[in-house]
Every structure is written in structure tokens, then in C-alpha cells.
Structure 1
Amino acid sequence: MRVNRIIADLQVTDIESAKDFYTDYLGLTTEEFNLGWVARYTSPETGANLQLVTQDATAPVAPVISVATDDVDAAYDQARARGYEIVHPLTTESWGVRRFFVRDPDGNVINVVAHRD
């Protein structure tokens, strides 16, 4: 598995309420997307980004980070072969990603994801 990018997923109670802090104060001015329950904000100057998450739309828990990979199917097979706990099964989501959630040894939930071409 090759990791292309890691994005912090910060749990918030309300995206719109949190948005001003992260955009106006921290300067993450570009809203890459907003699905109502998850939104990504980026700094055009630095490329720094953050995803705000209220509650995942299809998974039982929200992840702490999202790891974008070039081959999510291989990553899933590798996680299962290593005996890691799969929290959310490998799924093709309606918003254009294929992903699964895996729990790390310390209990953190990681979203391993690939965007469909």
C-alpha cells in the first residue's frame, strides 16, 4: 500500500458553527467539499487541510484520520491478513470513494480511502 496523503479528521458537533474558527481564524479558506456531516477545508497558500466530521454517514464511528491510498483493496486485504480489527467493511460509497475503517493497536479508528477515478 502506498500512502498518498493523510488528513486529520476532527470531530465537531456542528460543522457550520466550527467553520468560522477554522476558516476565519486559522485561514483554511478553501472548502473542498461539504456533505453536511463531513467537510474539508484547505489553505491555498500551504496546502494544509483538515476535515471536520460530525458523525459518519455510513460507519458506526468517526475516524481520527483519513489515509488516502493508491490501492484500497490491497490495503484491506493486508489489514485482514495482519488480524487488525475492521470497524467498517470495505465499501464503495455513494459520494465517490471506496474505503474501510481499521482500528490501530491503540484503539484509534483510521479511514483508509481511495477516490474513484
Structure 2
Amino acid sequence: MRVIRVTADLAVPDLDEATAFYADFLGLDREDLGLDWVTRFVVPSSGEHVQLLTRDATGPQNPLLTVKVDDVDEAYAAARRHGYEIVHPLTTEAWGIRRFFVRAPGGVVLNIAQHHDPNE
């Protein structure tokens, strides 16, 4: 398994209110993900980004980080082999992501994810 990208996930009570801060004040570009509970703000010149979410759509709690990997099934098997707590089981979500949540040492919950092609 190889990590492709790490994204901070910040919980906010209202995405529209947060947009005023992240887009209007900081000047980040809003990337619409097509979901009403999460959005991404991107630094125009570099592509660095942060995701804001009100609540995770299917997970039992909000993750602090999303870690995109090239093989989520391998990552899931490795997490189980190491005995890490699986907070949300390996799931193929309706919005095209295959993912699971794992609790890292210290208690932080990570969303381990991979884009999923439904034709595969």
C-alpha cells in the first residue's frame, strides 16, 4: 500500500458560514464534491487543500484526516493484522470511495480511502 495524499478534515457546524471564511477571507477555491455534508477548499497555486464536513455521512464519527491510498483493501488487511481498532468497516460508498476508519495510537480517527470504479 502506498499513500497518495493526506487531507485534514475539519468539523464545522455550517458549510455556508465556513465558506465565507475559507473562500472569501483566505481566498481558497471551493471544490464542490457534490455532497451536502463535505466540501474542499484548495490553494489555487499549489493544490494543497483542506476538507470541511458537518458530519460524516456513514461513519460513526468524523475523521480528523483522510489518507488516500493506492490499495485500500491491503491497508484494511494490514490494520487488522496490527490489531488497530476499526471504527468504520471497509465500505464502498455510493459517492465512489472505498474506505474504512481506523483509530491511530493516541485516539485520532483516520479515514483510509481509495477512489472506486464501479465497473471494476
TM-score class, shorter: over 0.9
Give the whole-Å Cα distance in 1 for the aligned partners of 2:54 and 2:32.
Answer: 17
Moved over 2 A (4+): none
Give the whole-Å Cα distance in 2 for the aligned partners of 1:65 and 1:109.
Answer: 7
Give the residue type in structure 1 aligned to 2:28: L
Give the whole-Å Cα distance in 2 for the aligned partners of 1:31 and 1:19.
Answer: 11
% identity of equivalent residues: 56
Give the whole-Å Cα distance in 2 for the aligned partners of 1:55 and 1:36.
Answer: 10
Kept in 1, the 8 Å contact 2:30–2:42? The answer is: yes
| Deviation of the 1:30 alpha carbon | 3.5
Give the residue type in structure 2 aligned to 1:106: G
Q: Which residue of 1 aligns with 2:45?
A: 45
Q: Which residue of 2 aligns with 1:26?
A: 26
Q: Which residue of 2 aligns with 1:71?
A: 71
Q: Which residue of 2 aligns with 1:15?
A: 15
Q: Which residue of 2 aligns with 1:36?
A: 36
Q: Which residue of 2 aligns with 1:59?
A: 59
**Structure-1-length-normalised TM-score:** 0.96
Residue-by-residue CA offset, 1:84-104 (whole Å, 9 max, x unaligned): 000000000000000000000
Residue-by-residue CA offset, 1:21-62 (whole Å, 9 max, x unaligned): 001111211324241111111122121101001111101000
Kept in 2, the 8 Å contact 1:30–1:43? The answer is: no
Say how many residue pairs are matched: 117
Q: Which residue of 2 aligns with 1:89?
A: 89
Structure 1: give runs of 5+ residues left out of the alignment: none
Q: Residue 33 of structure 1 aligns to a residue in which SS? A: coil
Structure 2: give runs of 5+ residues left out of the alignment: none
**Structure-2-length-normalised TM-score:** 0.93
Give the whole-Å Cα distance in 1 for the aligned partners of 2:45 and 2:104.
Answer: 32
Kept in 2, the 8 Å contact 1:79–1:102? The answer is: yes
Farther-moved stretch of structure 1 (67-76 vs 21-30): 21-30
Give the residue type in structure 1 aligned to 2:46: T
Q: Residue 33 of structure 2 aligns to a residue in which SS? A: strand
